Structure 1
C-alpha cells in the first residue's frame, strides 16, 4: 500500500509571480541605450567643470521578495511522512546500486544518480566503484566501445582520478579523424562530446574529437526524430553537463527521464521526493534569514 502511494506523489515547484509587462517591454526597459535614443532620468556633475554627464537608468522595479511574501511560502514536503518515504526509497536505490556488477552498468548508474541530483546520498558507494574501475587497467568494453570509454573517462576525471586522454587514440584513423565505424554510435558520440569538456590544456585529441562529435550530433538532430536521445543531444549542444548547475540540471533531467521506456520507477520517485524536500529546506532557510 505504501508503494502505491509513493508512485503517485506529485512533483511540485514554487510558482513565483511574473512581472506584469510583456517580455519585450520588460527587456526594453532594462536594456542600455548605447546611442542616446531615450532621455535619462539621472545625472551628476564632474568637479571643476560645467559639463553635465548623463547616467543611464535601469528602471529597476521593486522586488517581489518582500518579508511578508517570503514568510507566506509554504510546502507540504517538510512533513515527517515524506522524510520517511524518502528514507525507504534511498535504501532501495542503495540495494540496486550494490547489486550492479558489470562495469558499464555501474558507470551508467553513477551517471544517472548524478543527473537526477541524488548522488550525494551515496559518496562511499560511488568512490568504491570508481576506485575499482580505475584500478582495472584493461576492460573489454573500453577496448572496443566508444560510449563506455567516454563515460568512464568523464566520470573518473570529474571525480579527480588521473586518467589519460590517450585512451581515445584507438578511435582515430590514420588521418586523425574519427573512425567511420564510430559514426553510427550516437550514444558514443554524445558521451564523447560530454567527456571532451573535461580535457586539460594542450590535450588536442579531445578538442579534435569534440569537433567531429559535435558535427555528427547536429546531423542527427536534423533528422528530427524527437526521441529521448534527441532531447539529451539538444540539451548537451546548448550547454554541456560540465557547465551546468547540478540542481537545475536535476530539475530538467527528472522530466526527461520519466519519459524513458526503461526508467526505474523507484529511482525516479526518490529523485522527485529528494528535490521537493530540498526545496522545502531552502524555503525554511530563506524564511529564517529574512527574519
Structure 2
C-alpha cells in the first residue's frame, strides 16, 4: 500500500510539474516573460498549508486551532490565491511585472474573495467532512473557542460572509491597483471556484 501511495504521489507531482512548466513555457514564448518562479512560489504557498492541514488532522484529539489561526491559514488552503494568480496569468496579455509583484503579496483583492470561499465551503461541507474524520473547520474552531451552539455559530459565519462581501465590494469600487477593471470585477466570483458548492452565495 505504501508503494502504491508513493507511486500515486509521484504521478500527481509529475502532472503538476509538467503543467506548471508547460504554462511557463507558453507564456515565455508568447510574451517573453519568465513566470516560472512566480508559479513555483504560488504552488509552494498552497502546499505548505496542506502540510498544516495534515498536522491538524493527526493532532485532532490533542489540538484545535483558534478561530483566527484557522482563518489566517484557511483563506490560503482553500486555493483562492492560486486560482486568482493562475487566472491572471492565463487571461492577461501583456502580463505586467508590477502586477505579479502585487499578486505575490496577496492583497485584499486576493484575501477577501478567498476568505468568502473558505467560509462558504465550511458552511456547506463541514459536517460531512467531520463525519469522515477530517480536521476541524472554521465552524468547529469557533464552537470550541466560544462554547456556542452550532446553529448560532452558523448564523455568525453567514454574517461574517456578509461583512466580508461589503469589504470586498468597497475594495473593488476603490481599486487603485494597476489591475484592469474587468479582472478586478471577476475576482468577485472567485469564491465559486473555491467552494464545493455547499451553499449558495450569501450577499
TM-score, normalising length from structure 1?
0.22
